Amino acid sequence: HVQLVESGGGSVQAGGSLRLSCAASGFTYNSYCLGWFRQAPGKEREGVATIAADGTISYGHSVKGRFTISKDKNNNTLNLQIDSLKPEDTGMYYCAADPGPTYGISCEFSDWGQGTQVTVS
């Protein structure tokens, strides 16, 4: 079980920026996956950006070019830089992990944070 705590959400006008952070702890293995997901009320949860065990980064089509996922050098903080926010980006953003061991690009996200709200108007 991995502990994930998101922060950095808030309310911002369209065109603005936010930087979300996820403090992660409790990893047993060095090979694991981390990612950001989001969900708007009444809509399906969607993947925003993920980092696989081999370092492969994947972005959802709707956010590619505006969102940037990264990990701190100590690998215990996951970040999501969000630029050029749009109203349709509004939703609850969740940090998630596959605690591993994982290999290649395969991830099965099982551990989730409480989420942080992003509201764009």
pLDDT tens, residue by residue, 15-51 = 999 999 999 999 999 999 999 999 999 999 999 999 9
User: 107 or 105: whose pLDDT is higher?
Assistant: 107
Task: Please choose, from the candidates 64, 45, 52, the residue with its C-alpha nearest in 3D space to the C-alpha of residue 100.
Answer: 52
pLDDT tens, residue by residue, 60-75 = 998 889 999 999 988 7
The model's confidence at residue 101, banded by pLDDT at 50, 70 and 90, is: very high
- Measured in whole angstroms, how far is the alpha carbon of residue 47 from the centre of its chain? 8
Rounded CA-CA distance 23/17 in Å is 20
From its phi and psi, is residue 62 left (phi > 0), alpha (psi between -120 and 50) or beta?
Answer: alpha
> What average pLDDT does the structure give for the chain?
95
